[in-house]
Structure 1
Amino acid sequence: MRSAGESAVTALTDRPSSQSGLNTGAFARHRIRFTSNIAGPIFFVADLICLGLSVPLSLIAYRLFFADRLVTSVGIFAFSSAGATYLLIRASRHAYNRTLVNLFEHEADSVIDALAAVLIASALVWQFGMIENLSRGIAILFLLSFSALLLASRPIVRGAVRYLAGSGSIEQRIVFYGADPASIAMIRRIIELMDLPHLKYLGVADDRPKVKSVDGLKMIGGLDQVLELARQGELDQVLFCVPNMPPQRLHAIVEELSNVSVDVAVVPSEAIQLAPDYRVHLLGQLPVLTLWQRPFRDINGLVKRGEDLLIAGTATALLSPVMLIVGLLVKISSPGPVFFVQPRIGFNNELIRVLKFRTMFADRSDLKAEQTTTANDPRVTPIGRWLRRLSLDELPQLLNVIKGDMSLVGPRPHATHMKVGERYYQDAVRGYAGRHRVKPGITGLAQVKGVRGEIRTIERAKLRVEYDRKYIENWSVWLDLGILLATFRAVLYDADAY
């Protein structure tokens, strides 16, 4: 006769589920199953194979291209030193500690690490007085063959790991503890965004359930049933997702789970409430949820400023004849100043004075941008219409960049009273203030993605802010250069600018 716990486990494992992502069918206990931590050792074995193959390949190539004989002892020492150094460098980068969550990390540096290993091995050979007997040709051939094998092996290994995950050989079986439908639904949505095929949800456990089902998952019982699953080797991890669970109760349950072989993790309520607008970092040993982070810190700030000064200074020198002609056209086309100086919101919500060529009649200028510019706006001069269409009115902002008020690329600075519909931007779009974490730009990601000119709807305003935040979170010099190149196309083909 089976106990209540055994009955619950049997009911769980004998009934197939029709829900996507569930794994409540009969388990193949005879099959070897790994968790996603096996990904690191697989990459380690792949690197060992690449090291092993690169030695004979480089020797074969050396015999084809060079007639000199190699000193065997020196060659063995050099190969061994290079291989050991490479593995140590990769281990120091935690490249062999990866799981399916960070499967694609550390790969861009593998060839650089191979180069560093060869240089260090050459230095060791020199240090031991054997440099005269080491052929530079064999060192170069080893580096080339090893690098080629590393590059070729990466997609193969990643594909193999993905296949093993999809077939169930790599699998992590999870039980949620705490029948809180909202929390579990949010956790599953976040996990689904990560594309982790090895995760299988067995169900939900709760000793004090208030619901009969949660998001299609089976209710498997309480703590006794969880313990039984763990003893049978059918469970890998328990996720606590109960908001505001009393610490005493949590500690008591965790103490019971410590008697069996299972991973136990707690999903903080803040991680659920704030999802997905954060990144997890460690402050020493303390995990913190980072909601906002300065993108241009330390060396990044210097690189960004150097990029601005170099490109803006060069552009100002090259375009000065064009700016002179445009200034003359503005002056003779209508009475008033050449430049329109407008207060706008800049870095850290500070006001900056943005320079533009004047495109409106002087007596109809709108310093606070209380009225949105529209197509065929009667306030715009005939010359101004062309300047706005080709974005030539923005050229004086190169001086703002050189001064340091603006950057070449960044979120466009908005006027102090700019509205979308009948609402101010900061009131209409959630997270709007986050775009002021960086200096505003002459152009930006939103502009090259077609969200420039008049903003007529809340949805379009949200899209612009979303692109601004995406730029801030993914900044790189290459992204800036790509946006600058794409700006020329956007200026020529975007009919929304007027």
Structure 2
Amino acid sequence: MHGKLKPVPRRNSGHIRFTSNVLRSLGVANDVACFFCAYLLTVVVYDLTIGYYYDARLHSTGAIIMCINYFLIRISRDGYTVFRGQGEDVGGSAIADFLLASALTSLVIFQLEMMREFSRGFALYFIGFSMIALFVSRIVFRKLIWNLMEKGVVGQRVALYASGKATIDKVLELLEIQRLPHLRIIGYADDRSRTKTDVEDLPYLGGFEALLDLARAGDLDQVILALPEIKQDRLAYIAETLSAASIDICVLPTEALELKAGYRINFLGSIPVFTIWQQPVRDVDGILKEIMDRGIALIAVFLLSPLLLLTALAIRLESKGPILFRQKRFGFNNNEISVLKFRSMYVDRQDVSGAARTRKDDPRVTRVGRIIRRTSIDELPQLFNVLRGDMSLVGPRPHATMMRVGDKYYFDAVRGYTARHRVKPGITGLAQIRGLRGEIATTDRARKRVEYDIYYIENWSPLLDLRIMIETLFKLVWDKNAY
């Protein structure tokens, strides 16, 4: 792992170097050059192909306004921060921003009733050449930046000031995940001599004094302090002493080393905070999901009403007891809800608490019950739970409050179990279409189901819901885990 974060030799302090912050300015200059070349090419090609008269001053003004709109959009979205050499932006977001700028400019021209004075051919040429230039230039730009980074002209020489091998390994792992080629780790420092041979492929620079010497000599651009148990007065001394040299000093919080990689850093005003969990479906997304749920559920009840009536009749004719089975289960925010199902067991044998798992060839299940459980028809009354607002069409399946895995309750057997209740439970879910439907007899399968539930919550989208609903229909035919 450490081999990808290549150490670099010390360079002459007189060598002209730039930090990665210069890439933002180069990115802006790159786009300016793209538009300038696109305009010149448009003038030449237009004259060679169409050749009609056009007001050059008016068209150049329109192009400038369009470019200004583009840069305002791009900068407001912090679009140039991606210029770090990772290669993720090959023009897609830039082209989208340019098309938005073009649409806004066209709308202004239309409102001013000047559309007739502009050549459509000229405009189409300019827009087309600009998009091509934005796309191609980013490929070339990325290659150029990589070369400048390899030569040491652009980049940051970074030293880690950490406590022990475990901390250093964790910092290197986090940096590796981020894919930041502009960083060059020149080594690590630790005041404890026993760590000299702890880390392979990463030079030991010495203690704090060695860091200070490197900074003063101009051989260091940034120090990352990763000292989880450091005292405040020691941290203040390190920061004050290193600040005398012209380098960047960063503190890697303990939380960044201990928490999972999915946390976010947000701001409450100007106060930075670690967001470990965040309400997943909120605001417009929440409204959209509610509309989808209730709209599709209402249509489904109408279309499936003959099947619902036939199932109710079959249950009534086979055995005595109510048609519907009601069970208390965990709902949104761990609140109890009453979940509806078609009754599939004999009344005197069913378990309302959910403590007893349903097994294959369970004698408690009726003949009609086996059919409706196998085809999931027994779950259809939950459409009324959706209409009532207790459930969603798609989400983590609601579990009975006393449901067990092995000799433990579900919520005790699986760590982080309650996090799956941050959204409404669903009639179907991601875990169900991934083969985790039916009996969950082992803790490993229970944990895997919860992992799928958490993944769904953190990656929710309307398209994901539609995909799960479609896959559920196919799974009903081939799933062997339902009984």
Normalised by the length of structure 1, the TM-score is 0.86
Moved more, 423-432 or 93-102: 93-102
For the residue of structure 2 that corresponds to 1:239, the secondary structure is strand
CA RMSD across the alignment: 3.1
Q: Which residue of 2 aligns with 1:77?
A: 61
Q: Which residue of 2 aligns with 1:20?
A: 3
Distance 1:264 1:314, change over 3 A: same
Distance 1:169 1:377, change over 3 A: farther
The reply to whether residue 286 of structure 1 matches residue 271 of structure 2 is yes
Q: Structure 1, residues 95-125: CA drift from partner, whole Å, max 9, x if none? A: 1133549864796543442233223333554
The reply to whether residue 122 of structure 1 matches residue 106 of structure 2 is yes
1:180 and 1:241 in contact (8 A); partners too: no
For the residue of structure 1 that corresponds to 2:329, the secondary structure is strand
Distance 1:340 1:145, change over 3 A: farther
2:340 and 2:379 in contact (8 A); partners too: yes
Q: Which residue of 2 aligns with 1:357?
A: 342
Q: Which residue of 1 aligns with 2:158?
A: 174
Distance 1:299 1:102 in 2: 32
For the residue of structure 2 that corresponds to 1:97, the secondary structure is helix
For the residue of structure 2 that corresponds to 1:488, the secondary structure is helix
For the residue of structure 1 that corresponds to 2:326, the secondary structure is strand
Moved more, 223-232 or 121-130: 121-130
Distance 1:105 1:331 in 2: 62
Q: Which one of 205, 211, 222 corresponds to residue 237 of structure 1?
A: 222
For the residue of structure 1 that corresponds to 2:348, the secondary structure is helix
Q: Which residue of 1 aligns with 2:482?
A: 497
Distance 1:204 1:494 in 2: 54
Q: Which one of 132, 146, 168 corresponds to residue 130 of structure 2?
A: 146
Distance 2:45 2:229 in 1: 66
Moved more, 166-175 or 243-252: 166-175
State how 1:325-404 maps to structure 2 within 5 Å: 325-404=310-389
The reply to whether residue 266 of structure 1 matches residue 265 of structure 2 is no
Q: Which residue of 1 aligns with 2:177?
A: 193
Q: Which one of 413, 430, 453 corresponds to residue 428 of structure 1?
A: 413
Q: Which residue of 2 aligns with 1:133?
A: 117
For the residue of structure 1 that corresponds to 2:456, the secondary structure is helix
Letter in 2 for 1:55: Y
Q: Which residue of 1 aligns with 2:302?
A: 317
Distance 2:134 2:22 in 1: 19
State how 1:2-17 maps to structure 2 within 5 Å: none
CA drift of 1:238 comes to 0.9
Distance 1:160 1:491 in 2: 53
1:204 and 1:214 in contact (8 A); partners too: no
Distance 2:351 2:47 in 1: 77
Normalised by the length of structure 2, the TM-score is 0.89
Distance 1:28 1:259, change over 3 A: closer
For the residue of structure 2 that corresponds to 1:288, the secondary structure is strand
For the residue of structure 2 that corresponds to 1:383, the secondary structure is helix
Distance 1:156 1:91 in 2: 21
2:86 and 2:179 in contact (8 A); partners too: no
Distance 1:175 1:394, change over 3 A: same
CA drift of 1:393 comes to 1.5
Ranges in structure 2 where 5+ consecutive residues have no aligned partner: none
For the residue of structure 2 that corresponds to 1:204, the secondary structure is strand
Distance 2:4 2:347 in 1: 64
Q: Which residue of 2 aligns with 1:5?
A: none
For the residue of structure 2 that corresponds to 1:495, the secondary structure is coil
CA drift of 1:468 comes to 0.9
Distance 1:130 1:96, change over 3 A: same
Q: Which residue of 2 aligns with 1:471?
A: 456
CA drift of 1:438 comes to 0.7
